[in-house]
Amino acid sequence: VRAASEPFVEECDVIVLGTGAAGLTAAISAHEHGAEVAVFEKSDQLGGTSAWSGGMLWIPDNPHMRAAGIPDSTAEALEYLDSLSLGMIDGELARVLIETGPEMVSFLEERTPVQFRLVPRFPDYHPEHPGGKPGGGRSLECPLYPFDELGEWASRVTVGTQLTGRLSMSETPLGRGAPDGVPRAELERRAVRDERGAGLALVGRLLRACLDRGIEPRTSMRATELVVVDGAVRGVRFDATEGAVGARGGVVLATGGFEWDDALVRSFVRGPLTHPVSVPTNTGDGLRMAMRVGVALGNMREAWWLPVVDIADRAGQPMRWQVNGERARPHSIMVNRQGRRFVNEAANYNALGAAFHEIDVTTFEYANLPCWIVVDEQFVRKFGFVGYRGEGAPPSWLTRAESIEALSEQLGIPPRALRDTVERFSAMATDGADVDFGRGRSAHDTWWGDPALTGRIDATLGPVDTAPFYAIEVHPGALGTKGGPRTDVNGQVLDVDGVPLPGLYAAGNVMASVMGMTYGGAGGTLAPAMVFGYLGGRHAARAAARVVMAT
Ligand SMILES: Cc1cc2nc3c(=O)[nH]c(=O)nc-3n(C[C@H](O)[C@H](O)[C@H](O)COP(=O)(O)OP(=O)(O)OC[C@H]3O[C@@H](n4cnc5c(N)ncnc54)[C@H](O)[C@@H]3O)c2cc1C
């Protein structure tokens, strides 16, 4: 931390670091509240993990629910989060999140090209908890966005590998799109104006809103240090340039999590996180910058957990795949090295983190790592396993065997144990009740299961009894970490004594998440990211106005 003894090379009202949904929303909000804004991005591409995402936002009591007549309230949403809190959720921040969500949606819809609609019927992730919504309504998405609206900026938005296409989430099997998918003619029509869905639609719209305000994000600008003047954060240094850039109102950290920094992960996170799926530039720069100026940290143990498998893309390049629908569909189980099931496989991906981190106190090993997903021929024929439908040789990343015993030997699992597990599960599946782990009791499980059987137990339970059998190791991954600087209700970062540190804000995965260890529903990470971006941008703009008036 250096005081600015030399003048800033450039000055504005509000600096935003990072161009994911948190950063872009903060920039728009600051500008709408009167600030001159500068946005900097470490990568040579824009949009962060937000652009790779499904682009869904979990906003209880949102305006689109109200229009559709779906009842909800702040009290219900708070009761729901409280039921999942385990003492980790700050009630005041949760209230602000829930109360501000609908306001943020209306603000963006009224003032920018960012528009939302319901992802119909998508249930919350723990819908049977008090205040939960088994029939959905809280998850929103943006309609497709024509990228030709972005001109030369279109090619500067990062494109992920898992969700790259021209589909909205509500058109995918998970979002309950038409069983035959989107017709080819419609996809060809979408190609004309480069219409894109999911996270690309969200980021494309947010970026357009920035460009409309004259805010042109600067790429390949890695922020490295905050400049503190008289106890307030007043600027930023970058590794690519000499001299610091000043901000009269403040700096919004929106630099994502620290999941790609092994040392930080090992220091803080509660258990193995070997497979992040976010943009690799999320290496905890914002966390380090904040630690250097003496902030309070919170929620450091947690990440948005995710089971991940290593596969290869069509070109044979290694690729990580979020193994979600596969776990929930019938004819599949997950087993540990003892050959035993250890979890409701269809539970939401974030909750599975707890099962990955369980320790066997006798052997002092992670009880459920390594683990595998095992499916049978029925599964592969019905659903395909990441595109493989049982025709020809399986891909190199997928183990196949003619019997459960042969599969166990290839995996190094006791054959008898795996056979017993498979037989027990198959009998329970045939009876329609997983008495061991309760798979299928929740509306969540059957939603993520076979789309053709939603709401029925056989959407998720089906015997694993038809050779050949297939398996792949499942790794403890994450969408991103969710610990970092603690903030107040304005998104202002707190110092180690819990007092707001003038001039510093945080939003998104860089900040101590309001959600504690939970994931409320589809959109549970982007919603708080954008709400706290909105709040922080607004507060920083007002702070800048006060500085200008005082000088
Ligand atoms: C396939 C997939 C699907 C998902 N679907 C959903 C979904 O539907 N709903 C949901 O809520 N969540 C979803 N997620 C998770 C969600 O994408 C992330 O939690 C969210 O995007 C985080 O937003 P952010 O703005 O905090 O970070 P990011 O979007 O990752 O942006 C951070 C940016 O900061 C930049 N940066 C880092 N360090 C610096 C520095 N020193 N200086 C300047 N810039 C820096 C990074 O390069 C990056 O561009 C999904 C994730 C994936 C991978």
Question: Does ligand 1 have an atom closer than 6 angstroms to the CB of 481?
Answer: no
Q: What is the mean pLDDT of the chain?
A: 96
Q: Is 237's C-beta closer than 6 angstroms to any atom of ligand 1?
A: no
Instruction: For residues 101 and 107, give the distance between their C-alpha atoms in angstroms, rounded to a whole number.
Output: 10
- State whether the beta carbon of 254 lies less than 6 angstroms from ligand 1: yes
- CA 521 to ligand 1 centroid distance, Å: 17
Q: Assess whether the C-beta atom of 479 lies below 6 angstroms from ligand 1.
A: yes
Please give the distance, rounded to the nearest whole angstrom, from the Cα atom of residue 311 to the centre of ligand 1: 22
CA of 45 to the centre of ligand 1 (A): 13
Predicted confidence (pLDDT) per residue in 456-502, tens digit: 999 999 999 999 999 999 999 999 999 999 999 999 999 999 999 99
CA–centroid distance, 210 to ligand 1, in Å, is 18
Are the C-beta atoms of residues 528 and 18 closer than 8 Å to each other?
A: no
Q: Whose CA is nearest to atom 10 of ligand 1?
A: 523
- 92, with CB counted inside 10 A (0-12, 13-18, 19+), is exposed
List pLDDT tens digits, range 231-281: 999 999 999 889 999 999 999 999 999 999 999 999 999 999 999 999 999
pLDDT per residue as tens digits for the range 192-226 = 999 999 999 999 999 999 999 999 999 999 999 99
Q: What span, in angstroms and rounded, lies between the C-alpha atoms of 453 and 421?
A: 25
256 within ligand 1 shell (Cβ under 6 A): yes
**Residue nearest atom 21 of ligand 1, based on CA coordinates:** 50
DSSP-derived 3-state class of residue 481: strand
- Residue with the smallest CA separation from ligand 1 atom 48 is 48
Q: What span, in angstroms and rounded, lies between the C-alpha atoms of 347 and 359? A: 20
Ligand 1: residue of 139, 238, 255, 514 to mutate (most ligand atoms within 8 A of CB) is 255
Residue 284 near ligand 1, beta carbon < 6 Å: no
Report the run of H or E that residue 39 belongs to, with start and end: strand 37-40
Rg (CA), the chain: 24
Rounded CA-CA distance 351/358 in Å is 12
Q: How far is the CA of 155 from the centre of ligand 1 (A)?
A: 18
Tell me the backbone φ, ψ of residue 146, rounded to 5 degrees.
-75, 115
285 ligand 1 Cβ < 6 A = yes
Gap between the Cα atoms of 33 and 36, Å rounded: 9
What is the model's pTM? Answer: 0.97
**pLDDT tens series, the chain, 551 aa:** 445 456 899 999 999 999 999 999 999 999 999 999 999 999 999 999 999 999 999 999 999 999 999 999 999 999 999 999 999 999 999 999 999 999 999 999 999 999 999 999 999 999 999 999 999 999 999 999 999 999 999 999 999 987 668 999 999 999 999 989 999 999 999 999 999 999 999 999 999 999 999 999 999 999 999 999 999 999 999 998 899 999 999 999 999 999 999 999 999 999 999 999 999 999 999 999 999 999 999 999 999 999 999 999 888 899 999 999 999 999 999 999 999 999 999 999 999 999 999 999 999 999 999 999 999 999 999 999 998 999 999 999 999 999 999 999 999 999 999 999 999 999 999 999 999 999 999 999 999 999 999 999 999 999 999 999 999 999 999 999 999 999 999 999 999 999 999 999 999 999 999 999 999 999 999 999 999 999 999 999 999 998 877 76
Ligand 1 nearest-atom number relative to CA 289? 41
Cα atoms in the Cβ-side hemisphere of radius 13 Å centred on 120: 8
Nearest CA to ligand 1 atom 36: 255
92 alpha carbon – ligand 1 mean position (Å): 25
CB 85 within 8 A of CB 518: yes
The b/e string for 154-192 (b: 16+ C-beta within 10 A; e otherwise) is: bebbbebeebeebbbbbbbebbbbeeeebeeeeeeebee
